[in-house]
Structure 1
């Protein structure tokens, strides 16, 4: 009986080894001569086939060789070829998971060219070609497709039901086409799974509200680099799960009231690179509980839009670089600054800051004031944020060397690790007017300025300030007892 078990176990092991050997044999690359001018690399999940700088005839011949064996082609990359038309059934008999047809002058995709791989294909990249329309008939059988990349083509219109059949699609990118119109039912069929849609780099002049409204699973919408001049309340209705909205580099002049009111889960909003001058006090209604990242740089804003920002209780990252801001009022961050960790004000026209300009920024870690018009930046201005600050950029300001700049050197001395390394590399200087000479703030000539040198270990901020208060209260209490 024991001998029978041993024999049976031996057969099982041998059968397993044979199956493994067969599997490995199946996954061996064909020789270069067999599929030339294509090449093959063996990857963990299957073969990686690359065909470059060739034509349809040679590609079809290589596909014929691959069909004769049961390969799993994990990547098939057809790049820089002369492949104006994708013929019918060109992939018949192949198991392809990721297909790339890139920069190959592709303009026609026949209806049955992809049908045979529709049950296996999960990613399709047809970027940088000459497609003038979405080849809907060819796409309708791709029932397992997760990612579709159609960037850098010549599509001008997204017609109705263009993606019907792609009900598993999660990512659709149409960046850098020539899209000026999107029909109301363009995205019908994508409403079950689509999470990311990139319409950037096109010629849209308005938000295609009706087409977008059915995409209630969408997390990220990119519409940067279009020609949007206006956005209105209701434009984003239906996108109730949107987490990120990109509207950068359009032609917007204002942010009107309640325009984002339907986007209650929005975490990131990009409005940089427009012509925005006006932000309505109710512009960010609806974003109160979730918005953390707001980019308003490269616009024409004259002042920090405090009234609009007040309602953003969770705002962490505020970018206002390259605007027309000339000053910061004492209450600029009142009511919303407590959560901000990153503030970018570089390339503005800020000339002066008061002692309480940053008083409400209790969590600030990074402050960028580079390339402004600051001549003075005393410790009274910086003191409220020195305890939390890890990065400060005040380069390219016409700072005058004064005793009140001692804070920079003392603060720098307390930094550690990567923050310290990064800050040490910054060449932050001030001008000694009598000598007409620049000095690095790390080596401020305190003696020449007749400064009273402060001990960096003694501070009126943070815990030291608390300790001081406790000591004073203790003295007061003992005096009361003596009396």
Structure 2
């Protein structure tokens, strides 16, 4: 390459670099002395400013320094753990803020014009863990580009009519851990077309606020866990036609009545754990047949697997029945819907015996949890239909007897060891040798301790060695029998 050509290429490269640099808007923080005790750093999308454990005077000083750079984008402004009882008027005037957090700062009053000046750019607002007693509707109404509003851990007691009016683009609203007892039927007027996720958990609601919720026809996820709801009925969820996930865990429900979810036919996940449910109507899950995949019924008062109610759910993948009072698994417990289940949790029940055909229909099962029951024997023939698909089996904390019926589990663990399954290897499955009254770790127990006399051929992952011996023996016996028959029936 000639010197002239090389020089021309260097000039072109320099021009490209200069143009690229000139086109970039490089964010710059104010000098540290101007914003101390606040701190500022430059991120890809703009400035990241944090003020912690300080007071309004220093916060105002930092905001004034930032206003001297009017073209800078403040991507994150975090005001945390401060003494900021009142958010002053126009405190953010002249600033371009995208994500604003005022967290754990004793905030109880937000002036009408405190936030209006940043309405064109603000997309996320976090006012969690403060002292707000009502929705600051007037201060919020100009935030026309807000996507996420977090009001968790405040002291809000009710949601008044049009509480969120003006938040035209809001998609996520979280009100977890307030003191809400009532919700006006027009509370969500103005956000009903865009809202996709609503968290009302950790409040004091005693019933489903159907009139208010029914207008949220775009809602995908509704969380109402940890309230005081004691009953649900058909029609409670009418209008929520696009709902994908419903959380009702840790309320005071005693039953799941017929057709209560019939209006939310697109529901994929349903959480009913941590209630006091004793009765599930056979039509409880009517309408959920085509889409429900995740069902949590743990920590209730269920005495038997509600197979009549579950049978129509032929797409069910995850079934959690832990910590109930289930004593028996019927042989048809999973008939009709078990083929799609990949996760089954039966831990912390009172199951003593597994029937021969218990898992016959669970053709896709990958995780089985039988921990902390009262099982003494788990024979191989019971596990045979599922042992090839299982990736996790937990049978710890059962009074297991160390006998040859558990050999399948020992061999199954050894096969997993080749796949480096750390979680299963860390679990210590204990069994007791009857004559010795001692506990042993089943993973390392010799076959003679399991009374596998005459059955001590080590199995491979496919059982090929054992199968080969059986086939060979059968073949030799057949040949011998054939020769004998030929000799016996040879024509004269």
Given the two structures, how large is their TM-score scaled by the length of structure 1?
A: 0.91
Which residue number corresponds to residue 271 of structure 2? 270
Within-5 A mapping of 1:262-411: 262-411=263-412
Which residue number corresponds to residue 3 of structure 1? none
Which residue number corresponds to residue 67 of structure 1? 67
Structure 1 residues 311 and 454: CA distance shift in structure 2, 3 A:
farther
Q: Shift in Å at residue 446 of structure 1?
A: 2.5
Structure 1 residues 394 and 89: CA distance shift in structure 2, 3 A:
same
Taking the aligned partners of 1:46 and 1:403, their CA distance within structure 2 comes to 66
Q: Is the 8 A contact 1:412 1:420 kept in 2?
A: no
Taking the aligned partners of 2:443 and 2:35, their CA distance within structure 1 comes to 64
1:175-219, CA deviations, whole angstroms, 9 ceiling, x for partnerless residues? Answer: 000111111000011112111100001001001001001111111
Taking the aligned partners of 1:377 and 1:13, their CA distance within structure 2 comes to 72
Q: Shift in Å at residue 420 of structure 1?
A: 2.8
Moved over 6 A (4+): 8-15, 458-461
Q: Secondary structure, in 3 states, of the residue corresponding to 1:385?
A: coil
Structure 1 residues 456 and 234: CA distance shift in structure 2, 3 A:
same
Within-5 A mapping of 1:50-449: 50-69=50-69, 70-415=71-416, 420-448=421-449, 449=451
1:245-278, CA deviations, whole angstroms, 9 ceiling, x for partnerless residues? Answer: 1100111000000001111111110000000000
Given the two structures, how large is their TM-score scaled by the length of structure 2?
A: 0.89
Q: Shift in Å at residue 345 of structure 1?
A: 0.3
Which residue number corresponds to residue 456 of structure 2? 453
Taking the aligned partners of 1:107 and 1:431, their CA distance within structure 2 comes to 62
Q: Shift in Å at residue 316 of structure 1?
A: 0.5
Give unpaired runs (5+ residues) of structure 2: 1-8
Give unpaired runs (5+ residues) of structure 1: 1-5
Q: Secondary structure, in 3 states, of the residue corresponding to 2:319?
A: strand
Q: Is the 8 A contact 1:268 1:292 kept in 2?
A: yes
Taking the aligned partners of 2:238 and 2:85, their CA distance within structure 1 comes to 40
Q: Secondary structure, in 3 states, of the residue corresponding to 1:130?
A: coil
Which residue number corresponds to residue 41 of structure 1? 41
Structure 1 residues 431 and 10: CA distance shift in structure 2, 3 A:
closer
Which residue number corresponds to residue 22 of structure 2? 19
Taking the aligned partners of 1:127 and 1:58, their CA distance within structure 2 comes to 21
Structure 1 residues 92 and 387: CA distance shift in structure 2, 3 A:
same
Taking the aligned partners of 2:265 and 2:419, their CA distance within structure 1 comes to 36
Count of residue pairs the alignment pairs up? 463
Structure 1 residues 68 and 357: CA distance shift in structure 2, 3 A:
same
Taking the aligned partners of 1:12 and 1:367, their CA distance within structure 2 comes to 64
Q: Shift in Å at residue 444 of structure 1?
A: 3.1
Taking the aligned partners of 1:150 and 1:160, their CA distance within structure 2 comes to 17
Q: Shift in Å at residue 87 of structure 1?
A: 1.0
